Amino acid sequence: VHLSDAAYDVIVAPGVLTRAGEEIARALRLAGVAALRKLPVVVDARLPSAILDRLLASMPTATPIVARLPGGEENKTLARVGEVLDVVLSGGIDRRTPLVALGGGITGDLGGFVAAAALRGIPLVQVPTSLLAMVDSSVGGKVGVNHGRFKNMVGAFKHPAVVLIDPTLLNTLPDNELRSGLAECVKHAVIRDARLFEDTAARLDGIFARDTAVLSDLIARSVAIKARVVQADPYEAGERMHLNFGHTFAHAIETVSRHAIAHGPAVALGMVAACVAAEQLGMIDSATRARVTDLLARIGLPTRATGLPTDAVMAAMAHDKKASDGRVKLVLPMRIGAVTVRDDVPAELIRGAVESIR
Ligand SMILES: NC(=O)c1ccc[n+]([C@@H]2O[C@H](COP(=O)([O-])OP(=O)(O)OC[C@H]3O[C@@H](n4cnc5c(N)ncnc54)[C@H](O)[C@@H]3O)[C@@H](O)[C@H]2O)c1
Ligand SMILES: [Zn+2]
């Protein structure tokens, strides 16, 4: 990822966790792994312990400073940031000490925010362990926590020094979490890459069997799309909004369901609603809408949510932080592989799209 003020590698390689020390030293331009003296690690306490063990074994000379984060969105808070800072700062770090965030998106977002804040910023290494974190949250530099009932409302832009993606870590990821990550993979394919869409559809068996070659290829291509979009618009002034395909609907659905519908399933529903809206506007044909819906259904993601209250979803969409000057901005497909941003979609048409997924 090349930015005007920073550049970093995203390495997708089976087994990269076992040489994490080397890769981190290289990214920080240190004279070898032995130069890593202290290593703060923010880790999801629910991960299989072998994952942390393998990371630490790759840098035997470093003294680990381990902050264990209780899992769950309700722990992505400033209070937990304070606790992690207590651990990290009392371990005796300096401005060049890298912090590793080892876990899913929750750990990456919170750990990344700690790295942005500690000593006004120390190097961050993202080691994502969920598919969602691998293809989405670990790349792009957005870090932060929830505040009260506001999601992701306190944070920073903190670009990592390196992102290490080891697809073999997905062997222990529950299928449900794999599906959530796949929702974001489908999103990347629909916004930029029709071939990735076809290949994902053709390789679902390999994906769920945790075929390392299949996963490595799809992750690398998905993350490359995110990287290209972020590179073109690192601070979210324009094009980066394409990554919100399905998300304006999804955030409203998550809120209205009080998170009974999790992010991945909500994104799937949101993408279906966006396709319905695009079809109504004459931007895509019904066959294209059906292809997106069919793939999501085959993955095992929902394409309908019975009992979803339309009025509440409409109200929540109007409150979305991306609805500047009262107009709801929607990212809508023009075909599989290309999207555009529309802020002129009539409210009645949006309502119809919400009705269609009930
Ligand atoms: N910063 C961004 O740009 C960005 C983008 C998208 C999402 N996010 C954030 O990401 C978060 C969601 O991330 P998530 O879906 O990874 O959630 P998560 O971090 O809760 O991980 C999901 C679950 O999988 C488990 N898990 C993770 N890796 C595992 C492994 N290898 N083996 C076994 N279990 C494993 C975790 O313990 C957890 O129970 C949300 O808070 C969201 O706001 C941030
Ligand atoms: Zn998302």
354: phi then psi, degrees, rounded to nearest 5: -65, -45
Whether 322 has a pLDDT exceeding 80, the answer reads no
Q: Using one digit for the tens of pLDDT, what is the confidence trace for 2-53?
A: 998 889 999 999 999 999 999 999 999 998 999 999 999 999 999 999 999 9
Neighbours of 117 (CB within 10 A): 17
Query: Quick one: pLDDT at residue 325?
Result: 67
Distance 177 CA to ligand 1 centre (A): 8
Those residues whose C-beta lies under 8 Å from the C-beta of residue 290, and which sit 6 or more positions away, are none
Query: Quick one: pLDDT at residue 126?
Result: 98
Query: Quick one: pLDDT at residue 259?
Result: 84
Whether 296 has a pLDDT exceeding 90, the answer reads yes
Mean pLDDT of 116-142: 97
- Which 8-state DSSP code applies to residue 349? H
Percent of the chain with pLDDT over 90: 90
Three-state secondary structure call for residue 153: strand
Query: Quick one: pLDDT at residue 122?
Result: 98
Mean pLDDT of 138-145: 96
263 carries an active-site annotation:
yes
- Burial code (b: 16+ CB inside 10 Å, e: under 16) for 173-204 equals beeebbbbbbbbbbbbbbbbbeebbeebeebe
Q: Using one digit for the tens of pLDDT, what is the confidence trace for 207-266?
A: 999 999 999 999 999 999 999 999 999 888 889 999 999 999 999 999 899 889 999 999
Beta strands per DSSP E along the chain: 9-12, 38-44, 63-69, 99-103, 124-128, 142-147, 150-157, 162-165, 330-335, 338-342
Whether 324 has a pLDDT exceeding 80, the answer reads no
Whether 203 has a pLDDT exceeding 80, the answer reads yes
Site of tokens 């080891």: 166
Distance 43 CA to ligand 1 centre (A): 12
Whether 179 lines ligand 1, by a CB cut-off of 6 Å, is no
Those residues whose C-beta lies under 8 Å from the C-beta of residue 58, and which sit 6 or more positions away, are 17, 18, 19, 20, 21, 22, 33
Catalytic option among 23, 184, 254, 279: 184
Question: How many residues are recorded in the chain?
Answer: 358
Mean pLDDT of 170-185: 98
